[in-house]
């Protein structure tokens, strides 16, 4: 995982972050060994603060992977929530299901297997918080639908929006990533302009966007 911040800043902030509960630590180790890009500790910590403040009852996640962030959210809210999470890879769905069924939150998390671009249009309930952490080239499309699925007063957290810093400067862009980078730039401009929402782009982890839907 490439970091966008100076190493000494990351190291310092990470040292401050309290260690997670056992089953999450096991997942962190699995992710590290198997190169699964789970949410980074400083981003996880920001999410915990937001979750404790907002106490969302219904959460939607785009991009389950092994179920780490879903379980982190469930644990942070002590299970007082329901989480729907979307994943297109069968192997990931199986792994996630396995981790989730061995946790205390099996009945709180539902995995839907499929491409988020399709699944998002099959959902018709509303959510208090949406965590967007999947194909970065599709964030605008995810957002366009998420806007309608989000309750007023709800929040969208989008991960990896600065994409190894490439989004912020052409100097870092590698050629085969140029399309994703351009799309992320459009996404970030868009969320900062769209009416009824207020956003912040935060340079921790791989870049996080917070997008708040105004109450009215």
- 68 interface partner picked from Mg ion, ligand SAH, none, CB below 5 to 8 A per type: ligand SAH
Give the sign of the dihedral formed by CA 202, CA 203, CA 205, CA 207: positive
The interface region with ligand SAH, picked from 4-12, 31-39, 99-107, 183-191 by CB under 6 A, is 31-39
Residue from the set 134, 149, 150, 184 that interacts with ligand SAH by CB under 6 A: 134
- For the bound state, the minimum distance from the C-beta of residue 180 to ligand SAH, rounded and expressed in Å, comes to 12
Considering the complex, state which of residue 92 and residue 168 has its C-beta at the smaller distance from ligand SAH: 92
Scanning residues 129 to 158, which ones bind Mg ion (CB under 5 A)?
133
Beta-carbon count within 10 A of 137 CB? 15
Scanning residues 55 to 74, which ones bind ligand SAH (CB under 6 A)?
63, 65, 68-69
Q: Which residues contact 195 (CB under 8 A, 6 or more apart)?
A: none
> Which of 159-195 are b and which e, b meaning 16 or more Cβ less than 10 Å from the residue's Cβ?
bbbbbbbbbbeeebbeeebeebbebbeebbeebeeee
The yes or no reply on residue 159 touching Mg ion (CB under 5 A) is yes
């Amino acid at each position: 995982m490439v970091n966008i911040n100076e190493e000494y800043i990351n190291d310092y902030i990470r040292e401050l972050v309290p260690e997670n509960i056992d089953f999450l630590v096991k997942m962190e180790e699995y992710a590290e060994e198997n190169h699964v890009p789970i949410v980074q500790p400083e981003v996880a910590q920001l999410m915990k603060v937001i979750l404790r403040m907002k106490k969302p009852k219904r959460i939607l996640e785009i991009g389950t992977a092994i179920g780490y962030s879903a379980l982190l959210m469930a644990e942070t809210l002590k299970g007082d929530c329901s989480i729907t999470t979307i994943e297109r890879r069968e192997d990931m769905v199986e792994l996630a299901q396995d981790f989730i069924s061995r946790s205390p939150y099996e009945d709180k998390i539902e995995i839907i297997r499929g491409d988020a671009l399709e699944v998002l249009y099959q959902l018709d309930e509303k959510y208090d918080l949406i965590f967007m952490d999947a194909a970065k080239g599709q964030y605008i499309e995810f957002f366009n639908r998420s806007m309608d699925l989000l309750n007023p007063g709800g929040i969208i957290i989008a991960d990896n929006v600065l994409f190894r810093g490439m989004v912020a400067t052409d100097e870092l862009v590698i050629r085969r990533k140029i399309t994703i980078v351009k799309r992320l730039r459009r996404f970030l401009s868009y969320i900062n302009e769209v009416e009824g929402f207020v956003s912040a782009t935060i340079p921790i982890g791989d870049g996080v966007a917070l997008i708040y839907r105004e109450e009215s």
